[in-house]
Chains A and B, each alone.
Chain A
Amino acid sequence: MTYGLAMGRKFPKITIDLEKCTVPFLCKRCLQACPMGVFHVTRVMSKEERLKEMDPRVDGNYVLYATRRDKCTGCNICIDVCPVDAIKIEMPKQERAKPKVEGEHWG
């Protein structure tokens, strides 16, 4: 494991405005810029259309997700490269580590 998957750990919340982000498979800026590969683009699958090939140029055929948000570091590179300002990142509050032995004080 590359990092601690402690139970109860809070991950960043990444919201993508799908009204602004309409052709992610064509644009692909955030997908290729993210150092941790947080984003994932996939087509919208209704049952009738499962056996069709999708055209990436049509609005809404592909949808952007932040599937690996546990890997997000909050570096905001994706926000910088997004041409339509569709991405928002809310980092979780972190608590400062406390000394393990209570009652002992330094200094």
Chain B
Amino acid sequence: MCWMCDEFGDPEHGNGLWYLNPTNYARNMYKLRAPGEGFKGAEAGLETGARSGPSQADLLNAIENNDRVEYDRLTAIMTARGQGSQIVPLEDADKVLELCSPIGLIACICRKGIRAIDERNEHEYTCMGMGVGMLKWERWPERYKGGVAFVNIDEAKEWNHEMDRRGFVHILMLFGAPFIGGFCQCDYPDCGAIRNAVDFGLGSLKGHYVAMVDYDKCNGCGICAQRCQWGALKFEVTTGKANVDIFKCYGCGLCESGCPRKAIKLEPRVNVPAVAEVWT
């Protein structure tokens, strides 16, 4: 279990996975601000915290200057400031959608920045905001350019499955852990969370699963290899089957949901000794 589960999970009474155990984190989502206290969590607006800390540009400068001390200092801040995220497979994502309200479909800030894609209506939105922060969306018209479409749980699940079919990774965004503020649908290289995770090993907690291939069922069609955004799954020519590099696998479950022969299953990370405690 990850450190979030140690702190917020409850294996005896509820669920060991922290995000399925809202009794231990939901209070943070609805906490009122004490007089004189600064904005926190949803009140500060999505992504505000991410802008305030060191950026990737600072990291690149530290690498170019061969400054190991500065690089370690920056990565320590970026890991500690609670701007993390966690990868969840489709089934777990559905369960989280049942726990959070209100749910609003919004435009993706990463696609807006990296590809200048301007999502304007509910058929185009590829991001989701959740929790009471969404009720104040009109305060940040630039972030929510294109508006917000509030949906019920069934519509949210349907949207989630459509995103999965298209091949996006599902990532819970923690705006000040353990506060769940958003639900991103990501791919590489557009998405900031995957870019940080794959290229720098920062920010994202890996999912609580790893993908395992059943070689008896796999016929080597290669659909899963197209869907992997982490570079973890490839077609192994020698055996003619799919091959997962479990050390690179983030447990997003896209290969599992895309497999037409149900040859891939998600194994809980704790059952695989080599990666049981590998979270970044």
Interface residues of A (CB under 8 A from B): 1-3, 5-11, 24-25, 28, 31-32, 36-37, 39-43, 51-54, 56, 67-71
The SS class assigned to the B binding surface is helix
Residue from A5, A7, A9, A52 in contact with B200 in the complex, judged by beta carbons closer than 8 Å: A5
Residue from B63, B71, B142 in contact with A53 in the complex, judged by beta carbons closer than 8 Å: B142
Mask: chain B, 54-88; 1 = CB below 8 Å from A; 0 = not: 01110010011011100100000000000000000
How many Å lie between the Cα of A40 and that of B189 in the bound state? 12
Query: Residue of B at shortest CB range from A27?
Result: B116
Mask: chain B, 215-256; 1 = CB below 8 Å from A; 0 = not: 000000000000000010000000000000000000000000
- Flag if B231 contacts A2 (CB, 8 Å): yes
Query: Residue of B at shortest CB range from A28?
Result: B116
Q: Would A67 and B56 be within 8 Å (CB), given that A8-B63, A37-B114 are in contact?
A: yes
How many Å lie between the Cα of A3 and that of B63 in the bound state? 14
Confirm or deny: B37 has a beta carbon within 8 angstroms of a beta carbon on chain A. no
- Flag if B113 contacts A41 (CB, 8 Å): yes
- Flag if A2 contacts B198 (CB, 8 Å): yes
- Flag if B114 contacts A53 (CB, 8 Å): no
Confirm or deny: B161 has a beta carbon within 8 angstroms of a beta carbon on chain A. no
Confirm or deny: B190 has a beta carbon within 8 angstroms of a beta carbon on chain A. yes
Q: Would A42 and B113 be within 8 Å (CB), given that A7-B63, A54-B142, A68-B189 are in contact?
A: yes
Chain B residues with Cβ under 8 A from A5's Cβ? 63, 199-200
Mask: chain B, 21-42; 1 = CB below 8 Å from A; 0 = not: 0000000000000000000000
Least Cβ distance of A12 to chain B in Å? Answer: 11
Q: Would A68 and B195 be within 8 Å (CB), given that A10-B64, A25-B116, A31-B114 are in contact?
A: yes
- Flag if A69 contacts B60 (CB, 8 Å): yes
- Supply 12 A–B pairs (Cβ within 8 Å), ascending by A: A1-B199, A6-B63, A7-B67, A9-B63, A11-B64, A37-B114, A51-B139, A53-B142, A56-B118, A67-B55, A68-B195, A70-B199
Chain A residues with Cβ under 8 A from B66's Cβ? 7-8
Q: A5-B199, A71-B199 are known; give 15 further A-B pairs, CB within 8 A.
A: A2-B198, A7-B63, A8-B63, A8-B64, A8-B66, A28-B115, A31-B115, A32-B116, A37-B114, A37-B115, A51-B139, A51-B140, A52-B141, A68-B56, A70-B199
Least Cβ distance of A103 to chain B in Å? Answer: 28
Tell me which of B114, B116, B199, B201 has the highest count of chain A C-beta atoms within 10 A of its own C-beta. B116
Chain A residues with Cβ under 8 A from B68's Cβ? 7
How many Å lie between the Cα of A6 and that of B64 in the bound state? 9
Least Cβ distance of A27 to chain B in Å? Answer: 8
Query: Residue of B at shortest CB range from A64?
Result: B116
- Flag if A24 contacts B189 (CB, 8 Å): no
Residue from A6, A39, A56, A67 in contact with B57 in the complex, judged by beta carbons closer than 8 Å: A67
